[in-house]
Amino acid sequence: MKNKTQLFLRLTILGLFLIIFTSMHVCAQSSGIILSDDQGRTIYAKNPDKPLIPASTLKILTSLAAIRTLGPNFHFQTWAYYDKTTLNLYLKGFGDPLFISEEITKFAHQISSHIFKQVSEGRFSSAVIRNIIVDQTYFTPRITIPGAGSSANPYDATNGALCANFNTIFLKWNSQNKQYISAEKQTPFPDILAQQITPGSKKADRMLLSYELRQDYPGILMHYFLKESGIKITGTVQEGVFAGSAKECIVYTSSFSLADIVKKLLEFSNNFIANQLMLTMGARISSPPATLEKGTAALNTFAEETLGLRGVSIIEGSGLSRRNQVTPAQMRDILIAFMPWYEFLKKDGNEFYKTGTLSDVRSRAGFFLGKDDRLYPFVIMLNQTSTGYDAIRALLKEKVSAVSHNLIP
């Protein structure tokens, strides 16, 4: 009996050793860690030059490229043109990722004010619109983002030149009327949508619109808000090509600066916003229409030529694709370049960070604010394992605490 007990204990200890050894081996082969000071001097590193999947920490690079390319004070524009001969209203988008109901309402008021003014001055005969023509041509149609799914869930929202409310609608069940209604006061649910949308069985459900509805949805909302402002509309919402020129169109400038957009992108880890920015950069650098190829070229060129990072592989801008490849040391250099905007990241105590998660991928990148009021960039990239994630964070925090404390005079 005693021999059996000893054998059992030995086998148990051996098993635990093998588990620990295997986990450490996997972690060593598929992980990368780096901690530096604000000058890029390494404090701790493990596999710093190993290409790994960054997941959503890639959004820091996309955000940095957008800020450097477009400028933090950049504001997206959306154009409208009213043809007094055909009475058609044209709308043209340029990739605004935050063209939400509140913005569309403001734009509708701007358009209706323009039309009413022209009527009062005798330039237009009446405040009537026949058709609303939506121009989506600033982006190529049906852009597919690598790594994105094809479900009706909002995290699979697709990109486009003119997208309303992230191409989604938020509905809730009205038990009194036995029907779905909008779950947002600022967003209507007009009959034209109700006839084409079949929500799930949930009592509240944010859902991705079908591709056909996505194309017309900004025009459908504009139709509703213009009628609310007193404009008579006799026709339908259609797709087409903008008929006006830059000089004669009504320009709506977004209420959100690019800095505002980046803050929301990083706070909510929004894949749609990230790729809208990537595609817009590509169109502005390489001329429209926006394509995935132009967008990824903009990011890769920025990483290589502006930041001096060699061998990066950026497949899309949000971190969805497992084919994105960045080393921990390269991500550290991205963070150092991003340092002026570190407060755009989420905050937890003295840590400013962005996380990333895919199946078998866990990453975290950001800054520790030391006791010496200096920023210490850190990167944790675990691929094919999550072993030791919390322990690694604790270790890096302890090192920052020790180093920053010793540097205080």
Are 61 and 152 found together in one domain?
no
Residue at 126 is within a domain: yes
pLDDT at 195: 81
pLDDT at residue 12, rounded to an integer: 42
Do 346 and 385 lie in a common domain? yes
Q: What is the DSSP string of 76-104?
A: -EEEEEE-TTT--EEEEE---TT--HHHH
Q: Are residues 68 and 111 in the same domain?
A: no
Q: What whole-number distance in Å separates Cα of residue 262 and Cα of residue 274? A: 8
Q: Indicate whether 386 belongs to any domain.
A: yes
Tell me the torsion sign for CA atoms 230, 236, 238, 241.
negative
Q: What is the full per-residue pLDDT of the chain (409 aa) written as tens digits?
A: 555 445 344 434 433 333 333 344 434 568 999 999 999 999 999 999 999 999 999 999 999 999 999 999 999 999 999 999 999 999 999 999 999 999 999 999 999 999 999 999 999 989 999 999 999 999 999 999 999 876 666 667 889 999 999 999 999 988 888 888 999 999 999 988 888 787 765 666 888 888 899 999 999 999 999 999 999 999 999 999 999 998 899 999 999 999 999 999 999 999 999 999 999 999 999 999 999 999 999 999 999 999 999 999 999 999 999 999 999 999 999 999 999 999 999 999 999 999 999 999 999 999 999 999 999 999 999 998 777 899 999 999 999 999 988 765 4
Residues in Cβ contact with 301 at an 8 Å cutoff, skipping those fewer than 6 apart: none
116 shares a domain with 194: yes
Rounded Cα distance between 52 and 250, Å, is: 47
Report the pLDDT value the prediction gives residue 342, as an integer from 0 to 100.
98
| Residues 196 and 287 grouped into a single domain | no
Residue 12 within a domain: no
Among the three residues 256, 288, 311, which one is the final residue of a domain in this structure? 256
Tokens 């084919």, residue located: 323
What pLDDT was estimated at residue 198? 74
In this structure, is residue 81 part of a structural domain?
Answer: yes
pLDDT at 179: 86
Q: Which of 200, 230, 256 is the last residue of a domain?
A: 256
168 and 145 part of one domain? yes
Which of 233, 256, 279 is a domain's end point?
A: 256
Question: Are 193 and 335 found together in one domain?
Answer: no
pLDDT score at 14: 38
Residues 287, 293: contact at Cβ < 8 Å? no
- Based on the structure, what is the number of domains in the chain? 2
Co-location of 106 and 220 in the same domain: yes
Does residue 3 form part of some domain? no
Do 279 and 316 share a domain, yes or no?
yes
Looking at the structure, do residues 107 and 198 belong to the same domain, yes or no? yes
List Cβ neighbours of 393 (8 Å cut-off, separation of 6 or more). 364, 380
Looking at the domain assignment, is residue 22 inside a domain?
no
In angstroms, rounded to a whole number, what is the distance separating the alpha carbons of residues 224 and 105? 9
Residue 151 falls inside a structural domain: yes
Domain of 178, in residue numbers: 77-256
The structure tokens listed for 353 are 């960070």
Give the whole-angstrom CA distance, residue 89 versus residue 132: 5
> Which residues are within 8 A (CB) of 92 and not within 5 positions of it... i.e. 6 or more apart?
78, 79, 80, 81, 135, 137, 138, 161, 162, 242, 249
Give the angle 379-381-385 at the CA atoms, nearest 5°. Answer: 150
One domain for residues 156 and 39: no
Residues 121 and 156 both lie in one domain: yes
What is the model's pLDDT at position 406?
A: 76
pLDDT at 381: 97
